[in-house]
Amino acid sequence: MSPLPEAELVRSSVQLYRYLLRCCRRLPPGPIQQHYRHAIRQSFKVHADEDDPERIQQIIKRAIEDADWVMNK
């Protein structure tokens, strides 16, 4: 089960970024939400120069799985 139903539609890094920020809105407000928003931004900065399409898809898949884990804990 994905955190939000539109997880299957995420194909690009921009779509992933928006999807993860929408997931963050479902977390309790305060430090937890701020932590994950910051982590999302930092992760995108780290991977900004990635240009291998296969690697990008791996990152997207892993990010959605991680978001699922966070939302279910």
User: How far apart (Å, rounded) are the C-alpha atoms in residues 66 and 20?
Assistant: 10
Annotated domain spans of the chain: 7-72
pLDDT along the chain (73 residues), means of 10: 69 91 91 94 92 92 91 82
Structure tokens at 69: 């884990």
- What is the pLDDT, as a whole number, of residue 1? 45
Structure tokens at 20: 């993860």
- What is the pLDDT, as a whole number, of residue 71? 85
| Cα distances (Å, whole numbers) of residue 6 to 11, 15, 20, 43, 51 | 11, 10, 11, 21, 24
- What is the pLDDT, as a whole number, of residue 2? 55
